[in-house]
Amino acid sequence: MRRNRRLAALSASLFLFLAACAQNAPQDTLEPKGPVARQIDHLINPVFIVAGLVFILVEGLVLTAIFKFRSKPGSPEPEQIHGNTRLEVGWTLAPALILLAVAVPTIATIFDLSKKPTNAINVTVIGHQFWWEYRYDDLGVVTANELRMPVGRPVELTLNSVDVIHSYWIPPLAGKTDVVPGRSNHMHLEADAAGEYLGQCTEFCGASHANMRAKAIAMAPADFDAWVAGQKAAAVTPAAGTPAADGAALFAQKGCAGCHTIEGVSTGMVGPNLTHLATRTTFAGSIFANNDSNLRTWLRNPQAAKPGNKMVIPGAPLTPDEITKLIAYLDTLR
């Protein structure tokens, strides 16, 4: 019985240990993909070594005390050390000095990372239940859910929220920063190489907190410039008589315009700016791949697709035909 229980405990801890070794983990903090994340990562080894030595020392003393001084029949009471000034001073000073040693590189890193980098691209990140808005104020670009950035150039984020507290985290690129209503927090990040870097909101913010992902897409500088030029272009007006033109009319009739901005068409501010929706790889907090079938699911019933989100279509549900036309319009928004 005893042995069985021990075996169970052993296999449970082995299982936990092995479960921590994921092969394909895009949100692994221990694999930094940019200078900011790398600088934070450099703190892990020294701190872990110190913590490991303390662990071995403390556990060693505990085990020694348990086995060496355990009560045996006929054994005398071990020597008592209560009130030993030298020991008391020693085990107060030693941890204080260890913490001081750990604090030196940590505080230096915190101060270093809080400096705004030169030549950064400024982006205001606005947390919404349950999606991210990105405003490139200097470039005149507004987009959602996907942070586009050029490789090798820092992006300075100013973080705000319109509702509750969120937290912004792209683990391979930087640490997390809270996104607090009524307050501007700052952080910066930078990617070494082109690619997609996944993250998510890490402050519980409501029913669809788990559906509030984040994504940074780093691109070669020329590709980034082309993307910016595309985002600044006005939305296309679909040719009369096409399903897309019917969709554009429905966009106004069905109340979409009241919540969504399409540059030159509407000015709603409740939901994401849709002017160039079709250039995004994902939508709705980056939980859905941006394709017609997912857009159909979304427009059929956004609340079922993502519980508690703020998209409520007046007079819903839309008919399948209305949805087809709306998607034809949305697909033109490149």
Binding stretches for Cu ion (CB under 5 A): 166, 201, 205, 212
Cβ closest to Cu ion, residue 134 vs residue 251: 134
**Minimal distance, residue 246 CB to ligand HEC, in Å:** 13
Residue 255 binds what, of Cu ion, ligand HEC, none (CB under 5 to 8 Å, by partner type)? ligand HEC
**166 in contact with ligand HEC (CB under 6 A):** no
Residue 307 one-letter amino acid: P
List, in sequence order, every beta strand (DSSP E) within the chain: 121-128, 131-136, 141-144, 146-150, 155-161, 166-168, 177-179, 185-189, 195-200, 213-219, 261-262, 266-267, 282-283, 288-289
Site for ligand HEC in 265-294 (CB under 6 A): 270-272, 274, 277, 280, 283-285
By CB under 6 A, tell whether 213 contacts ligand HEC.
Answer: no
260 binds, among Cu ion, ligand HEC, none (CB under 5 to 8 A by kind): ligand HEC
Integer angstrom CA distances of residue 101 from 39, 47, 95, 111, 319: 18, 9, 10, 16, 66
| Contact present, 287 and 275 (Cβ < 8 Å) | no
The entry of ligand HEC, Cu ion, none near residue 201 (CB within 5 to 8 angstroms by kind) is Cu ion
Number of helices (H) and strands (E), helices first, in the chain? 10, 14
Report residue 157 as tokens: 């984020």
Q: Give yes or no for residue 255 binding ligand HEC (CB under 6 A).
A: yes
CB nearer to ligand HEC: pick between 166 and 260: 260
Beta bridge partners of 136: 141
- Of the residues 189, 216, 248, 259, which one makes contact with ligand HEC according to CB under 6 A: 259
Give the residue among 132, 173, 123 at the shortest CA–CA distance from 152: 173
By a kind-dependent CB cut-off of 5 to 8 A, residue 256 interacts, out of Cu ion, ligand HEC, none, with: ligand HEC
Cβ-based nearer residue to Cu ion, 141 or 205? 205
Q: Which residue has the tokens 């990140």?
A: 125
Extract the runs of DSSP E, i.e. beta strands, from 66-152.
Answer: 121-128, 131-136, 141-144, 146-150
Cis before 171? omega within 30: no
Task: Please report how close the Cβ of residue 127 comes to Cu ion at its closest, in angstroms.
Answer: 6
Q: Which of 154, 124, 120, 149 is nearest to 136 (CA)?
A: 124
Q: Residues 147, 155: contact at Cβ < 8 Å?
A: yes
- Letters for 91-130 (x = contact with ligand HEC by CB under 6 A, - = none) are ---------------------------------------x
258 near ligand HEC, judged by CB under 6 A: yes
Angle at 285 between CA 283 and CA 289, to 5 degrees: 35
Task: Pick out residues in 134-153 that bind ligand HEC (CB under 6 A).
Answer: 144-145
CB 167 within 8 A of CB 200: no
Q: How near is the Cβ of 145 to ligand HEC at its closest, in Å?
A: 5
Closer Cβ to Cu ion, 205 or 277, answer by number? 205
Binding mask 294-323 for ligand HEC (x = CB under 6 A): -----x------x--xxxxx----------
CB of 101 to ligand HEC, least distance (A): 45
Instruction: Name the residues that contact ligand HEC, by CB under 6 A.
Output: 130-131, 144-145, 254-256, 258-260, 270-272, 274, 277, 280, 283-285, 299, 306, 309-313, 326, 330
